[in-house]
Structure 1
Amino acid sequence: MVIFGLLRIRKNVPVYFQQQKYQSDEPWIDESWAIPSNIVAPEIVFLKHSLRVEGKRAIHFDLENVKTLYAALKHLSPAEASNERLWSYLTHSTFWKYMHSRWPIEATDEEELPDGEETKKKNPLNRVETRYFLSGQKAPVRNGLARLWWFGYTTYDEALDNPWELTENLLHNSDLTLNLVERNFSRNLEFTKAILSTLADIKKNSPDFYNRDRFRELMKYFNFAGGMSLVDLINLSDVRDTVRKKLTS
């Protein structure tokens, strides 16, 4: 999707919406909006039919789809994976049917949103901007496809017996996912992995450990701490101790 094509779509989203294009079962952008071939690798063609979609929603297959997409596109650099043209093109073309299943234009009560954003469910145009494009500081983890790559990038660890262990803990439930990856400190991979590995340890001894209110308070605490000091300088042992203390005491 060349820049002109991207801007054209963005500018005319309300028009396309009125024309029922975003409600269409089939993609509708033309080939002149294609992005450079050196960004869209051959793996994309394979992935078109590999992301799991069953029934009306694909919400329950996020973990499986993270593994599928990230495993195929691990070669992307963070800079390439932040390319708005890449994900905006793919959401509007190759993965249109996946997007309609996982992120239908009309949101349902099944979708979780961070604190204070529940009203956004009522605005389908905002949903298009958030899920079908890359918009705002948290865009990579909100775009319907980019989020799958970034979840994998943040958590995949070949040093573990199960490289996907932290991924599985991140996607333990949607509330945990949102309240971890949408915090500013989540950009620090080691900091985030320290939290997730501690959650994994707690979960082994107490499978039902998760408490929504406690976890949200913990994430707010870390976000505040990260704002007061450089996250890179925070001792990871202290991070693990804080997680255990606030979630198990």
Structure 2
Amino acid sequence: MSQFYLNQKKYLELQQQIEENTDLYYSDNSWLAEELGIKERNRANLIVSNESNPSLDDLENAIKLHKTYIDLPYSLASDGNFWSLLAHTEYWDYMRARWPVEKARKDQLMFIGRRYFFKEKGRARNGLARLWWFAELSYEGDSEDPYHFTRLMLQDQDLAGQIIENAHLSRNRFALKALFNLLNYISEQESAGRIKELTGEMRRKLIREAAQYLNLTGAVELWDILSIDEAGKKLEQWVDKYLDKLNMHVSQKV
């Protein structure tokens, strides 16, 4: 990598000059890469295989990006300067395909600020940081499939965003692991035909309430003194009661 950071003055200027630079974000060529002499191009081989469904490859891209920067220190991974530099240079072609400004639904200036910089919810919205953090928060390095939970989480983009934006969950590995195990448990129950399939909004609501349960009971139950298996059992009991209220069980629980 040619450099980790933009000159801080330049970085601030770019953020302040989004409006006057808007036309540059329509270009297929990275003006900043040319200016800085950065020639690296898409080392992680990120792809957008379907322009009409650009999120289709987010899972694959999250894993690719994480593997490429697997030893990235959190000081850089949490730094908007780092990701903004990559978004404007090395991964410009990917960004243009995945987050084209001309397809912004609302305010283009806000769109650029969120996706190309670190404005508003930072790592959860930046076009590259979000991918790396999706994988990082769900990565299990000692597992046979270290990205198993990443696959579960990214089955639903809104659900993944909900998890990464939840401050309690994203800062507590134990709570995250418990929640991912809960997702796994739900998927197993669905596959076994023990519960009806949870649709997108219903699944998102369940996860919201599970996160709230973790938050509300954390101070009382002290999750950190439980083993992950003990915490998992408590969450399974909670979700079974939750699904009972919704009449989601299709056969006797086992």
Provide the TM-score with structure 1 as the length reference.
Answer: 0.78
Structure 1 residue 131 corresponds to structure 2 residue 93: no
Q: Is the 8 A contact 2:175 2:214 kept in 1?
A: no
Matches within 5 A, 1:1-249: 1-17=6-22, 20-31=23-34, 33=36, 45=41, 47=43, 50-56=45-51, 57-107=53-103, 121-136=105-120, 138-185=121-168, 186-207=170-191, 208-210=197-199, 211=202, 212-223=204-215, 233=224, 235=226, 237-238=230-231, 241-242=234-235, 245-246=238-239, 248-249=243-244
Deviation at 1:233, TM superposition (A): 4.2
Deviation at 1:191, TM superposition (A): 1.2
Deviation at 1:220, TM superposition (A): 4.2
CA deviations over 1:62-118 (Å, ceiling 9, x no partner): 11001111111111111121222211111111111211222222456xxxxxxxxxx
Higher Rg of the two aligned structures: 2
- The one-letter amino acid paired with 1:213 is K
Residues 27 and 88 of structure 1: CA distance in aligned 2, closer, same or farther (over 3 Å): same
**2: distance between equivalents of 1:195 and 1:164?**
15
- The one-letter amino acid paired with 1:131 is R
Please state whether the residue corresponding to 1:209 is helix, strand or coil: coil
Q: Is the 8 A contact 1:191 1:231 kept in 2?
A: no
Please state whether the residue corresponding to 2:109 is helix, strand or coil: helix
Tell me the matched-pair count.
Answer: 225
Q: Is the 8 A contact 1:2 1:33 kept in 2?
A: no
Residues 179 and 46 of structure 1: CA distance in aligned 2, closer, same or farther (over 3 Å): closer
**2: distance between equivalents of 1:218 and 1:81?**
27
- The one-letter amino acid paired with 1:152 is A
Across the aligned residues of Structure 1 and Structure 2, the Cα RMSD in angstroms comes to: 2.8
Residues 224 and 127 of structure 1: CA distance in aligned 2, closer, same or farther (over 3 Å): farther
**2: distance between equivalents of 1:93 and 1:206?**
43
Q: Percent identity?
A: 29
Deviation at 1:240, TM superposition (A): 5.4
**1: distance between equivalents of 2:65 and 2:86?**
12
**1: distance between equivalents of 2:175 and 2:139?**
14
Provide the TM-score with structure 2 as the length reference.
Answer: 0.77
Please state whether the residue corresponding to 1:14 is helix, strand or coil: coil
